[in-house]
Structures are given as structure tokens and as C-alpha cells.
Structure 1
């Protein structure tokens, strides 16, 4: 990795390093996390053949092998595609990889959950790709949209509930979650659930139904959508 003593690299400030993508988690074929956003900035400013060549082999290797950073770079390449043939070629190669990933999921691989997160990233759902757990021991912390008290959402083997966390007493005043029915799911949540069900991962599907369901605030008893509130509080804003 191009990191010194475990510290995250300093990434360039620019529109291709927008906060909607956490580049520090998106490594390329060399394990670097800082070169691709820098190269995207460079080719945006000038049609530099050397930068395009390096960007190409960092995003797509032989036999169409791509890396997490490839999916993260796709939106930037799409923005450049209208004025760059090189960008269109790379974007097409990465988009094709989405189909390969989905076929890999359907084969029910041993590394299913890791591949599932990769598909989310390939679909540009970087938020859920970064924060989604496998629902064995998952906790999501958010503020109640009505009274602003911090609520802990637990979805795992220990239970499925909302609670107020007390660091001495643990999770107190637990309220059971209300999972979304299939008919209530839409958009990203529906795709996530349908895919898990299709591939026979019932525990993952059940966790998703709870994550995209509703919780009751233990403090004010108001009911809110968990995924909406968690996303609103944690998804970075594109500037």
C-alpha cells in the first residue's frame, strides 16, 4: 500500500476526489489508493497520453481484470466520455465487469458477501458497499429525526431492535424493529433484497429487510425508516 505507517494518504482536492467516494478504501492493482483520483484530475485538465496509459493499466488489467477503484472511477470516466474516446473505452470495460460480478454472485461463491459488496460498488452504491455488514453483529447509530436523541439499531444474532445505549448498562429500553415487506421495498433496498434471495442467502435478505424497515425511538416513540435516516446522516454530500 502507498501508506506510511498505516496513516491514510493525502488525496488531491478536486471534483474527481469528491467525498461521495472514500478513495482510501478503493485500491488499484498495485495496492495504491492515491494515484487514480490524481490521474483522473490530470486527464480532466489535459488530454495527457501518458496519464491515460497509466490510468488504463491501473483500472483494467489483462483479461479484463478490474479492482475496487475501477468501479469508483466509473462515474468520473462517464463525465469525461463526451470528449474523450479513451474514457469511453475504459468506461465500457468497467461497465461490462458489472455483469461478470453478477454472474459470479449467482454461482454462490465462498466469498459471496465480499463479492456482494463489490457489486454494490459497481452499481455506484458506495455508501452501502462501505458500511453494510453481514448481519451477524451489526450496529447502526443514528439520531432520531424527531427528538434528535442517539438511537442504536441492532441487526444480528443478538437481536433486531432499537435502543438507547448506556455505556454502563448496555442497550436499554429495547424496541423490536419492523422489517419491510417485499412490497414495501423499492430502489436499492429492493435490489439488495432480491439479489440475496435469488442467490439463496436468506439471512442476508432478512437483515436487509430489517435495515430498510422501521424503528421506534425509545425516547419519544416516533417511528422512522432506518435506512433513510442512516443514509441521510452518513452519506457524504457531493460538492
Structure 2
């Protein structure tokens, strides 16, 4: 790794490798705090040093929760306009290793399950889902009906599981119950997300995914459409 080209958010090229060397020796909070703000800005910007650090972070992640969390945060930012696509492509083998590590971590049913689940989703390249997946206690998604183009609110949570037209004075009006996908009816990445959550006993998360990858009725024109397809087509980042 030519660290002379790997600048961090301050433009420095020497501080991150020094901090990574310290992290190899000692798991100190101050080291990880500085790595965090050098590798990721608050507005989710990442830099060459962020991707250059990934191999070391993933190596440390098996014994350091801080390394695992920071590596996941960098991957979640990979959809942004960072100009480091070549560095990200060079991390392909590291990301395969990181995916296996995250999957093992999820099987242990950790307290940070949802955050680690979102990291796994990002590692698989589905950045739009990683960014918006919640715990389905109070989740809302905005999609355009593919037939009449009206904006439809999709609610999945404690307030119900429905499609509606959102009126800022009246709330969600003309609600229609969602039609969740059956476990057999799911396919592709939706199936993988659902099966992972179900495997780990995350019942609410699995049920929410079944609804998110199910079908909704448009309150305006009564057409029925696939929620995930319409949301992804509008929100999938250009890579």
C-alpha cells in the first residue's frame, strides 16, 4: 500500500497508518476515535485512506468491535461520490472476508444486531437498503405509483402496515393493507435478508422485510405494485 497517496480527511498521509499500527497493539478508545474522524466525516464522506485502511480494519474486526464498526461505517459510505472506485474494487477479497465475519457475528444474536445487519447489506452492495432499513417499529417509505405516479406512503410498524396518501393536515388517508410476501414468494436479495433475520430469531425484522418486499395497492388508482422494486428503482445509487 502506497500510503503516500492515501490522504485522510485532513489531507494527511502518515497519521492513519500510525494509528492502525497502534490499534494492532492496543485497543484504546482514543485511537479509534481519531481513526473514526480521520476516515469518515460527519456528512458521510470517505477518502482514499478510508479504503486503504479496510484490510487492516477487517483483520482486526474478529477481535475488536471498534474495528468491525468502523469498517462497516466505511462500507456503508461506499455509495457516495468519493472518487475511490479503484480502491474499493481492490478491496473485493477483503469484503468477502468481512461478509463472513459479519454473518458469524449476526449468528451470535448480538445487541447491535440491526447495525451489523445493515453493514452486511452494504457489504453485499445494496447501499440503498442499508441506509434506510430500520427496526420496523415506525418505518415509512415514499414511493411513486408506477401507474399513476402519485406519491404513496408505505408504513410498516407500530402504526400499521399499509399504503396511504399522506395529507399533512389529516395524516395518512385512504389506507390500504399491505400484502406481505410469503417466505416462498421472496427471491433474490429480499429472500436473503429475510432468511438471515429469520435464522437469527429476529422475528420483527423478518416480518418487516416480508412486507417491504411485498405488494401495495395504490389508494389513487387501485393498481397493485411491488414495493421494493419501486423504492429501489428510485433510490438505488449510481455506481
- TM-score, normalised on structure 2? 0.72
What does residue 221 of structure 1 align with?
222
What does residue 4 of structure 2 align with?
none
| Counterpart check, 1:180 vs 2:148 | no
Cα displacement string for residues 152-188 of structure 1 (whole angstroms, at most 9, x for unaligned residues): 0000011000001111110010000000011211111
Question: Which of 46, 57, 69 lines up with 2:74 in the alignment?
Answer: 69
Give the gaps of 5 or more residues in structure 2: 1-7, 11-32, 62-66
Query: For the residues of structure 2 that align with 1:36 and 1:219, how far apart are their CA atoms?
Result: 39
Q: CA deviation at 1:75?
A: 6.7
Instruction: Sort the Cα spacing of 1:110 and 1:146 in 2 relative to 1 into closer, same or farther, 3 A.
Output: same
CA root-mean-square deviation: 2.9
Query: For the residues of structure 1 that align with 2:94 and 2:150, how far apart are their CA atoms?
Result: 46
Query: For the residues of structure 2 that align with 1:171 and 1:216, how far apart are their CA atoms?
Result: 14
Work out whether residues 155 and 161 of structure 1, in 8 Å CA contact, stay in contact via their aligned partners in 2.
yes
What does residue 45 of structure 1 align with?
none
Instruction: Sort the Cα spacing of 1:184 and 1:76 in 2 relative to 1 into closer, same or farther, 3 A.
Output: farther
Aligned-partner SS, 2:180: coil
Count of matched residue pairs = 193
Aligned-partner SS, 1:162: strand
Aligned-partner SS, 2:155: strand
What does residue 95 of structure 1 align with?
96
| Counterpart check, 1:127 vs 2:125 | no
Give the gaps of 5 or more residues in structure 1: 4-26, 40-50, 80-86
Q: CA deviation at 1:93?
A: 3.1
Query: For the residues of structure 2 that align with 1:232 and 1:149, how far apart are their CA atoms?
Result: 16
Query: For the residues of structure 2 that align with 1:76 and 1:189, how far apart are their CA atoms?
Result: 28
Instruction: Sort the Cα spacing of 1:28 and 1:153 in 2 relative to 1 into closer, same or farther, 3 A.
Output: farther
- TM-score, normalised on structure 1? 0.72
